Amino acid sequence: MNPSKVVRDRLGKLTDLPNIGKVVAKDLNLIGISMPEQLVGRCPLEMYRDLCEMTDTLQDPCVIDVFMSVTSFMAGNDAQPWWHFTAERKRLLAGASRHRSDRKEDA
């Protein structure tokens, strides 16, 4: 749903969430999420990893942005368009990549 149309007290199904349409709702179902409240406290990066494993496909990284948007919203923050999270996702992944290469050098 378009973030500007989300009504926090009307979250009966996944498609009531910001940035979630039918396709992403099906993706969330694949990883065991069928209701909005199941997103509370979830890690968007773990959700992305789980989706990639379930589909045996490397998903578009923008899916992480969508997952970040809905977990942020379910944590009580304002609804934002998914691209609002792109820069944060890139920082997170860059940091994770540096952390992995540091561990390899220590081994």
Tens of pLDDT, residues 67-80: 999 999 999 999 99
| CATH code where residue 28 lies | 1.10.150.20
Q: Which two tokens stand for residue 10?
A: 């009307």
pTM: 0.88
Residue 107 has pLDDT above 60, yes or no: no
Q: Tens digits of per-residue pLDDT, 3-60?
A: 899 999 999 999 999 999 999 999 999 999 999 999 999 999 999 999 999 999 999 9
Give the count of domains, the chain: 1
* Structural domain boundaries enclosing 8: 3-106
| Mean pLDDT computed over 67-95 | 96
